[in-house]
Amino acid sequence: MYSRLMTEVAQGDLAAGHRLADRYTIEAAISRGAMGAVYRAIDEEDRPVAIKRLTDVRQAARFEIEARLLARLRHPRIARVTDHFLDEEGNYLVMELVEGADLGEVLAGRGDPGLPVEEAVEYASQACEALRYVHDEQVVHRDVKPRNLILGERGVVLVDFGVAREFGGDDPGTRAIGTPQFMAPEVLVGESVSPRSDVFGIAATLWTLLTGKPPAYEDRTRLADRISGVTPALEETLRAGLSLHPERRIASADAFAHALGSPIGPSVGASLALSVEGTADGRGLMESFARTAGGVFEAAAASVAVLDDATEELVYRAAWGAGAEEVVGVRMPKGGGISGSAVADGQGVAVPNCRNDPRFAVRIAEGTGYVPHTMMVVPLLRDGAAIGALSVLDRRDGRPYGPADLERAQLFADLTVEALEAGGVPL
């Protein structure tokens, strides 16, 4: 079962019966890793949940930023994040408890030494459905492995995003996380990650399901000579997914599944990008730029606002990420808030602590249910005049944005204006 009960409780672990946030009761430990421990618990309505505890309370802001974004992900092949909170002992992420056996357990129970090729490929293809969705929503899992893929009633489900990066250390944004045998080299050495990093993880997972053990870097042993049913095409796909160089690796989960001969259908997950009413093409373009801005600047949220000529108010036309549902359609009075200030001045601004900035529109933020820690705003310019603003909120590594980010963001905003106008979107 996914709820693998540990035989020993390590020092500092939560005991059965322990209450958290006055609404969750711990039943038993499930697993422990470098980032913390996972527990089976019961919520106040007697529903089973999984609770991940991260013990570095110094990273509370960063934890909140990532958790708010993960809580908006909706896909049948992803374990849903339902709550997050902190106390004096740690940060907690509450997740749907997916009952079933993880693929590591399936392999241990039925591997001979690996699983049948058709079965293993099917599991990998289902995992690619989850990965395509999270990558489209600008999230990288970073720890794709058999133990984080649960085989249950609805097939393979991706679990334990935890928080999709490690907390703690002098520079938590660059420290490697995950399980070394399934980690892409760029993750292992702390370099930038991308969807290709998760492609490495799913390729390593499939290799393991086929052979019974994880791959060694640059293993040149021919699988077709060892594993019945492994074709040259399948082996070539695996090696392309396991390339040490990201730029030579298969670029996406969608492409990896296609190369396996199991192309995945249209995504059924909920988009984190929303926009006000308008033409379908216009909504799509504006939502796309909000979503892309979130990914480019590693933000938990991003939005595009445009001046209303009649009222001179700033109207939020599209948003992506945490708080998107509430912010779309919000009107900011002329010159109001940090965004209004950037439009009035025609200059970008990076704010390290929104809550202490006198320009911050606290009441409007509270009304949307999203009070950011940090943000960056650059004007949308047409012929040198500001016609709106691009905002990105809360860098996911917890650090503030700076001058170099502002320069990049202004270039992105200029491209946004050009592309929207070329697409016939009224601004």
- Strand order from edge to edge, sheet including 101-102: 101-102, 149-152, 155-158
d(CA 174, CA 196): 17
Q: Strand, coil or helix: what is 299?
A: strand
Burial of 214 (0-12, 13-18, 19+ CB in 10 A): middle
What gap in Å lies between CA 269 and CA 73, rounded to an integer? 8
The residues near 418 (Cβ < 8 Å, ≥ 6 apart) are: none
* Torsion sign (Cα): 197, 198, 203, 206: positive
Tokens of 209: 């399901």
Amino acid at 125: S
E-strand ranges in 214-342 read 273-275, 299-307, 314-321, 331-332
Q: How far apart are CA 310 and CA 332, in angstroms?
A: 13
Q: Among 350, 338, 343, which Cα is nearest to 405's? A: 350
How far is C-alpha 370 from the chain's CA centre? 18
**Annotation says 198 is catalytic:** no
- 389: closest CA among 321, 325, 335? 335
Ranges of H-type helices in 111-167: 117-136
Distances (CA, A) of 173 to 38, 42, 354, 395: 22, 33, 21, 10
Per the residue annotation, which of 43, 102, 136, 143 is the catalytic one? 143
Calpha distance 27→174 (Å, rounded): 34
Distance CA 67, CA 86 (A): 11
For helices 403-422 and 280-296, the axis angle rounded to 10 degrees is 160
First to last CA, the chain: 54
DSSP one-letter string for 21-68: TTTEEEEEEEEEETTEEEEEEEETTS-EEEEEEE--GGGHHHHHHHHH
Catalytic residue annotation? 143
